[in-house]
Amino acid sequence: MIAPHEAWDIIVEQTTPLPTACKSLIDALGHVLVTPVLADRDIPSADRAAMDGYAVKADDLITVPSDLQMVGEVAAGSSNCPVIEPGECVRIFTGANLPPSADTVVMQEDTLTADEDHRTENEKQPEVRFLKAVQKGQHIFRRGENAANGEEVVPAGTRVTAAHIGICAAVGCSTLEVYRKPRVSILTTGRELKLFTDEVGSHEIRDSNGPMLEALLAADGMPLISRQSVTDKADILLKTLSDLLAESDVLLVTGGVSVGDYDLVPAVIKEAGGTIRYHGVAMKPGKPQLFATASDKKFIFGLPGNPLSVMTGYQEFVLPALRLLSGIPSERCTRSLMLPLAADAHSKGKRRRYVPARILQQDGHLSAEPVRFAGSADLVAGGRADGSIVVPDGQKLIEAGSIVEFRPWGDIL
């Protein structure tokens, strides 16, 4: 039996990112970028108005109030480029290119304009009265202030978000080279398992691990290839495991990984040509789990049958490994928050403990509160949790108010 950090080190040692692929802009969402995205021009590409108002020469407004003649208008997206002579101004709107003869924008709230309702076509444009002192260069987005032409705007190694999609669109980048995400299959084992739509006897249980893992994969954007359930018979298990592994990068197996008479998974993995890299982790819940590799750099994770053990093993090892395969650096694959403890947390034994906990938000501050649970089969308690508190090896009590490491399960808010 090895420590959790040793298990993770073994996974990292065996893992390299999957091959790359070119994805269209929207399809690249959630993938990790292989090559950086560069600006194809200055951003903004010209000096632009930062708000609705008037483009002026600041020297015309050394004293205020002062009146200037309006000689034109520039809307966002317009190529109009009126010349401003001394004593003149131009109506301008947010995002419009600044006329080259102007050096300042005055927002419209600091001005008054003449009544235009009674002007004839032959009358001059109205005068605009400027009421407040101005600072030369104010309210202008400067050319290239966001990024210069050729500058890296999305670095390699970035996990593409909606904001990055927007940046790529702004620089005309329609396809991205990204790492492929792992294809995952799920195999739940046990003669006692039934479908969640079945009627069950007192000796039977409905399969909750399969749907839960499928939902976890979907929430993390990992493509599911297949989800199947089989009984505890070696020949059936071997065929199903081999078939699923042939079409997947990662196979998740629940149940059958301990040391009982019906725990056939370790032997079947070896018979299928796999190499078990570790079997047994000094943690609770989740001790009887394993990690194996197969040909063509394929992975098998064997998780216990109890749902909280499955959730803990998935969050601690499976999900970080899937992220690693997707191109995310190892130091960013496991996510934690350091939070104050809202109530005492108790632990038993010498293994590292993962205590289900929920997030409390009071007066704008977050804290973690342990959730009472009746063991690793208590999935109902898991449903009340937002994640788990990590209790170090051998520590039996962490007092309320202490800062603890909290591992979130998905979107904690």
pLDDT, one tens digit per residue, over 313-333 is 999 999 999 999 999 999 999
Residue type, 16: T
Q: Which of 332, 360, 385 is the last residue of a domain?
A: 332
pLDDT in tens, 371-411: 998 888 888 888 899 999 999 988 888 999 999 999 999 86
β-sheet bridge partners, residue 56: 104
Question: Tokens at residue 48, please?
Answer: 């632009």
Looking at the predicted structure, is the pLDDT value of residue 42 above 90?
yes
Residues 153, 39, single domain; the answer is yes
Give mean pLDDT, residues 150-174. Answer: 97
Provide the pLDDT for residue 118. 46
Residues 369, 314, single domain; the answer is no
Residues 96, 132, single domain; the answer is yes
Residues 134, 243, single domain; the answer is no
Residues 12, 79, single domain; the answer is no
pLDDT in tens, 61-116: 999 999 999 999 999 999 999 999 999 999 999 999 999 999 999 999 999 987 54
Looking at the predicted structure, is the pLDDT value of residue 312 above 90?
yes
* 398 within some domain: yes
Give mean pLDDT, residues 248-255. Answer: 96
Residues 273, 319, single domain; the answer is yes
Residues 229, 185, single domain; the answer is yes
Question: Tokens at residue 82, please?
Answer: 């009126």
* 413 within some domain: no
Residue 136 in contact with residue 5, Cβ under 8 Å?
no
Residues 60, 93, single domain; the answer is yes
Residue 274 in contact with residue 294, Cβ under 8 Å?
yes
* 395 within some domain: yes
Residue 394's domain is classified under what CATH number? 2.40.340.10
Residues 244, 314, single domain; the answer is yes
Residues 327, 266, single domain; the answer is yes
Dihedral sign of CA atoms 358, 337, 27, 312 in order: negative
Q: Which of 280, 303, 332 is the last residue of a domain?
A: 332
* 320 within some domain: yes
Residues 227, 233, 234, 239: what is their CA dihedral angle, to the nearest 10 degrees?
-40
Q: What is the mean pLDDT of the chain?
A: 92
What are the two backbone dihedrals, phi and then psi, of residue 113, each rounded to the nearest 5 degrees?
Answer: -120, 155
Residues 155, 224, single domain; the answer is no
Q: How many domains does the chain have?
A: 4
Q: Which domain holds residue 212?
A: 4-19+181-332
Give mean pLDDT, residues 275-293. Answer: 95
Q: Which of 113, 141, 169 is the last residue of a domain?
A: 141
Residue 161's domain is classified under what CATH number? 3.90.105.10
Residue 85's domain is classified under what CATH number? 2.170.190.11
pLDDT in tens, 193-235: 877 787 878 887 888 999 999 999 999 999 999 999 999 899 9
**pTM for this one?**
0.87
Looking at the predicted structure, is the pLDDT value of residue 267 above 60?
yes
- The H or E element containing residue 358 is strand 352-362
Report the distance separating Cα 173 and Cα 33, nearest Å. 13
Report the distance separating Cα 368 and Cα 365, nearest Å. 10
Extended beta strands in 201-351, E state: 205-206, 224-230, 250-254, 275-279, 283-284, 290-294, 298-303, 337-340, 345-346
* 293 within some domain: yes
